[in-house]
Amino acid sequence: MEFEEWEPYYQKILEYFGISREDDEKAARILASLITRDDCLLLSSLCRDQVVTVCGNAPCLPDELDQVEGTIFAADAASHILRNHGMIPDAVFTDLDGADEDYLAMNNQGTIMVIHAHGDNIPQLLYWVPLFPGPVVGTTQSRPVPPLHNFGGFSDGDRAAFAADALGAERIVFVGFDLDDTKVGPMKRGKLKWARLLLRLIGYEC
């Protein structure tokens, strides 16, 4: 999805959540300055004409792991569940909210860290990004500045799906997604609402 197509939805998201676009753009510039390599071609090779399974972090994830096939994209902390079940994700989409030493270990084993910049995670960017030893791709929800990308999507899970779609996935499988979860707070409910709306833009109903 080109930024001009994404921007109207981004503007609505900014208004809905009260997000500062200026802070997002500042975070994007900082992440761009920290990334010394862009492994988007490697990420693309995992998607092109492939089945991609996007793993969300809903409580149902462990019960749905038998549905995983093809390339595995994990939404942030879903990667811990996968790893605990002997499944190393091909890529982790994260704003570093759940980052820990396991992320460094997975990245060292070849997992691509798709690191997202937004106005609230600048300290995490500054701490974690220089530590990753392996492949990294940077993303932003604002206008992308090289070497960052904006594939579309807002939260970790739907961003992973948008990336898979943009990079030519044949089909996307969703596991660990519960967009009707009523046991979450207002902020998370808002994110689930937007995830459903955004995924419809690329032809998926979750």
Q: 75-86 pLDDT, tens per residue?
A: 999 999 999 999
> Using one digit for the tens of pLDDT, what is the confidence trace for 135-161?
999 999 999 999 999 999 999 999 999
Inside any domain, residue 140? yes
Reported as a pLDDT band with limits 50, 70 and 90, residue 181 is confident
Question: Would you say 194 and 153 are in contact if contact means Cβ atoms under 8 Å apart?
Answer: no
Q: Is residue 206 part of a domain?
A: no
In whole angstroms, how far apart are CA 189 and each of 77, 150, 176, 185? 18, 23, 16, 6
Instruction: Please give the tally of structural domains in the chain.
Output: 1
Could you tell me what percentage of the chain is helix, strand and coil, using 3-state DSSP and rounding each to the nearest 5?
45, 15, 35
**Structural domain range at position 97:** 3-201
Residue 138 domain flag: yes
Instruction: Give the pair of three-digit tokens for residue 198.
Output: 């955004």
CA dihedral 182, 196, 95, 185 (to 10 degrees): -20
Q: Decide: 134 and 110 in contact? Cβ < 8 Å.
A: yes
At residue 42 the predicted structure's pLDDT band, cuts being 50, 70 and 90, is very high
Q: What pLDDT was estimated at residue 35?
A: 95
Asked if residue 67 lies in contact with residue 55, where contact means CB atoms within 8 angstroms, the answer is no
Q: Are 7 and 15 in contact (CB under 8 A)?
A: no
- Does residue 206 surpass a pLDDT of 90? no
Token look-up 């998607």 returns 47
Residue 184: band (very low, low, confident or very high) from pLDDT cuts 50, 70, 90: confident
Pick from 61, 67, 74, 30: which is nearest to 163 by CA? 74
